[in-house]
Structure 1
């Protein structure tokens, strides 16, 4: 955690308490041996290790990888003064980042590596996690694409809700409890969901609005020219 804290201090971005606690607890890592994790990937995914294993196309990164993102691409000197602290990435190399909002809070942005604009995805790290959990319950088709059965997909989502709910604000915890309480008796295999649309929309209605507009992004390969 010390390395991530140092990176956060250097970036001038306060680590959200929830993210700090997850890092300290080892819930955002793949262990000392990534190959061992890959060998047992299915079981660990179902057990929410790391957390957000139910998310579509999200891979946690460590402080070293985050520092490389900042040095080579997501540096204020390259990005019109905007500060970023990456904590995860997509398979294509887009970066999930903490970034300051206009109101002084710390939001989450998905910064695309090959687009000229990105925007704030969530008003806080907690809201980001909560939305992923609800949307995973409402659509687990990506888990089926990874060869999990519908029952296993439900198990994965439920394991993540259990693992992460304790870190969330009370209103979000209550929202997740309602999601589990209103879960379909059997997963909807055809629609790839464990909750209906009404339950999903009611849960998502708890999220605070994101008011920040889209922001310009300098592509990664362009940063090498500056």
Structure 2
């Protein structure tokens, strides 16, 4: 049977958040219509926030089949002291961005699980906060985009993502992203960001402060 995020969620015991469900339904996690389409048009797609979070450092959305493979072969409760994970993206090194719950089954947060480290932590209390924080961080520091884009183009990419994400977020975070975009003026030729730390801190304060205790993770190569 073909894996879907809904079937994987039922298997993992972690519900697909409404925002992620909408992004999947709208095709906002896809890299073009095909591999060939993406290879030919990745520059324009990235500038237009396709997929969403195209401005974020080292994050690649994955499909349900890849998520199921990661959840089954590595981030499965039988390997991870009862903790459940629902992967939705990866880094270039194979680390997994996941929704995750505690061993006692408490509400899921979101964060990255390193493939080669013995512990991890939730980065955000939920998927929306995770997306919001990654976008604010990209506005603060877009240096990673400068290998392929000029500072003005990097700014365009981040702005497109802020505007696109605002239509998926709840009211207060959506307005915070719009305000952040409005505060971002033109950038210089040597710029590596479009807002300062004070603007970023004000934007991030729309969510309650969140800190997660670290927990043990069995590295990928030790599972199976």
Q: TM-score range by the shorter chain?
A: over 0.9
Q: Secondary structure at the match of 1:67?
A: helix
Unaligned runs of 5+ in 1: none
Residue 41 of structure 2 corresponds to 40
Residue 139 of structure 2 corresponds to 137
1:176 partnered with 2:185: no
Q: Which moved more, 1:172-181 or 1:66-75?
A: 172-181
1:112-160 deviation digits (Å, cap 9, x = unpaired): 0000011111111000111111111111100002x20111101101111
Calculate the aligned-residue CA RMSD, in Å. 1.7
Distance 2:109 2:152 in 1: 33
1:90 partnered with 2:91: yes
Residue 26 of structure 1 corresponds to 27
2:76/2:85 contact within 8 Å kept: yes
Give TM-score, length-normalised by structure 2: 0.94
Distance 2:162 2:211 in 1: 27
Residue 110 of structure 1 corresponds to 112
Distance 1:150 1:210 in 2: 31
Could you list the runs of 4 or more consecutive aligned residues of structure 1 that deviate by over 6 angstroms after TM superposition? none
Distance 1:140 1:98 in 2: 25
Unaligned runs of 5+ in 2: none
| Number of matched pairs | 222
Distance 2:39 2:209 in 1: 37
1:183/1:195 contact within 8 Å kept: yes
Distance 2:180 2:188 in 1: 15
Give TM-score, length-normalised by structure 1: 0.93
How do 1:1-226 and structure 2 match up within 5 A?
3-100=4-101, 104-145=106-147, 147-184=148-185, 186-224=186-224
Q: Which moved more, 1:12-21 or 1:188-197?
A: 188-197
